[in-house]
Amino acid sequence: WIYSVTIKTQAVLPAQTNLRGKIVLSIYGENSSLNDAILSSGRLMYGLFHAGSEDTIEMKSPKRLGEIHSIELRLEVSEWQSWLCDMIEIIDLT
């Protein structure tokens, strides 16, 4: 199963990430869950999740999630960050 995940970062400075840490998403559905999927980390974050930006990432799951009832999004860094997530949209593409 393929899911399109769109994340919008708030349009206030300095609401963005840098090249340290990683962004992790867990999606919990009625049929299954996708746990601790790394959306981006290290150099893969270059150009992503900047103030006012909208980034779309495709994620694969071995099982259909069904109706989504909750999500967990976290930024794991070893230092202070000012990233502000504004919105998340998840679409089942299959």
Give the start-to-end residue ranges of the domains of the chain.
Answer: 2-92
pLDDT digits (tens, 9 = 90+) for 7-35: 998 877 765 555 567 889 999 999 999 99
pTM of the model: 0.82
Look at residue 85 in the predicted model and tell me its pLDDT. 87
Of 54, 4, 11, 43, nearest to 25 (Cα)?
A: 4
pLDDT band at 80 (very low <50, low <70, confident <90, very high): low
**What six digits make up the tokens of 14?**
């300095």
**Residue 46 · residue 40 · CB < 8 Å:** no
Average pLDDT over residues 54-61: 92
**CATH superfamily of this structure's domain 2-92:** PLAT/LH2 domain (2.60.60.20)
**What six digits make up the tokens of 11?**
């349009």
